[in-house]
Amino acid sequence: MKTTFSIIKADVGGWPGHAWVHPDLKEVANIKLRDAQASGLIKDYHVTNCGDDLELIMTHTNGIDAKEIHSMCWDTFCEATEKAEELGLYGAGQDLLVDAFSGNIKGMGPGVAEMEFTERKAEPIIAFMMDKTEPGAFNFPIYKIFADPFNTAGLVIDPSIHDGFVFEVWDIQEHKNVMMKTPEEMYDLLALIGAKSRFVIKRVFPKKSSKLNSDEPAAVISTEKLYQIAGEYVGKDDPVAAVRGQSGLPAVGEILEGFSIGHLVSGWMRGSHNGPLMPVAVRDAKCTRFDGPPRVIALGFQLKNGKLTEPVDMFDDPAFDSTRREAQHITDYMRRHGPFEPHRLPMADMEYTTLPKVMKKLGTRFKKVQ
């Protein structure tokens, strides 16, 4: 029997502004998931939030893209939206882009990261959740975790992962995907995923030579692009990911090490600025300064017969203090650039712009340069 691990998330209202999720919304979600567990639809669950995003972490045996799971999550977000409206929260229902559920929650606004796999004797799994950034923000750490020997010692010294991994990369503009092997195609892979607003890592698989099943993912990332779905900007995608670890996969510490730089990501204020990604404890994932800086939280579970242990708040650790200090320092430095690139995103990637209006206003005042 295989287990499905699903993270399905949406911003259905912020408190205040786009800073945080109100506890009443989490209570709505907890009640819905408790009922879903009692009815046998899901095996286990945990509700959390990263900034203004409400996250439903679930285990079940229905496989990925299961209509009954997606429909239950859609109903949960709708009920949480009603609560957000009642409380007068900001942007109630922001990520619910359509009126009625149509069979699969993908493309309807919420973000989805799901994988189905055969549980090992002991199955460590980490759920990562980000706020104020885009799916491509995962490219850097996922690459480091599964392909960089300076991050993951096991790639060099553990025979069970020495052969490397297979990356599934999506071109989110052209809606195409490609499978690429590391270390063989490392440079070609980097040529794509360095362009993180277009090429995003969707999944990572063990190789055929691995003792693990090469059809079952080791990692999965949500790759929905809200503004592409809606045709206009309606909020950042704020991605989530699930990563399995140990015995034949990177160790938990190698997985977390991928987030130790506070790398630069796009998003932050008005989805239009570059800034450092700060790894924080769940309680600290409040996007305050300039609506940020962008945050990532990590919850670690052991999984057994579909049952989850209590989560461990992995970045709630002084070992990440220096990353946070560095991110604060970078925040100060980037902010001093105000409206200038590369703090402000290049024009094509901005989600708010007044440029067409400014150009129209200046009109004929623009003269040809001789």
**Smallest distance, ligand F6R to C-beta of residue 236, A:** 4
CA–CA distance, 30 with 49 (Å, rounded to integer): 12
What tokens were used for 202? 């969707």
* Residue 244, beta-bridge partner list: 125
At 134 the three-state DSSP class reads coil
Catalytic residue among 83, 132, 202, 236: 236
**Smallest distance, ligand F6R to C-beta of residue 313, A:** 23
What tokens were used for 114? 């799901």
The answer to whether 301 and 309 have CB atoms below 8 angstroms apart is yes
**11 classed as catalytic:** yes
Tell which one of 17, 103, 253, 346 touches ligand F6R (CB under 6 A): 17
**Smallest distance, ligand F6R to C-beta of residue 287, A:** 7
Q: Is the dihedral of CA 260, 262, 268, 271 positive or negative?
A: negative
Nearer to ligand F6R, 255 or 296 (CB): 296
Q: Give the count of residues interacting with ligand F6R (CB under 6 A).
A: 11
Nearer to ligand F6R, 217 or 235 (CB): 235
At 318 the three-state DSSP class reads helix
Residue 53 interacts with, from ligand F6R, Mg ion, none (CB under 5-8 Å by kind):
Mg ion
**Smallest distance, ligand F6R to C-beta of residue 331, A:** 14
Interacting positions 18-47 with ligand F6R (CB under 6 A): 18
The candidate with the shortest Cα–Cα distance to 248, out of 363, 362, 134, 123, is 123
Interacting positions 94-133 with ligand F6R (CB under 6 A): 132
Interacting positions 263-302 with ligand F6R (CB under 6 A): 267, 269-271, 291
The answer to whether 12 and 96 have CB atoms below 8 angstroms apart is yes
CA–CA distance, 172 with 226 (Å, rounded to integer): 11
Which spans in 110-220 are helix H? 139-147, 154-157, 186-193
Question: Residues in the site for Mg ion, rule: CB under 5 A?
Answer: 11, 14, 18, 51-53, 91, 131, 238
Tell which one of 236, 244, 295, 343 touches ligand F6R (CB under 6 A): 236
Q: Catalytic residue positions?
A: 11, 233, 236
Binding site for ligand F6R (CB under 6 A): 17-18, 91, 132, 235-236, 267, 269-271, 291
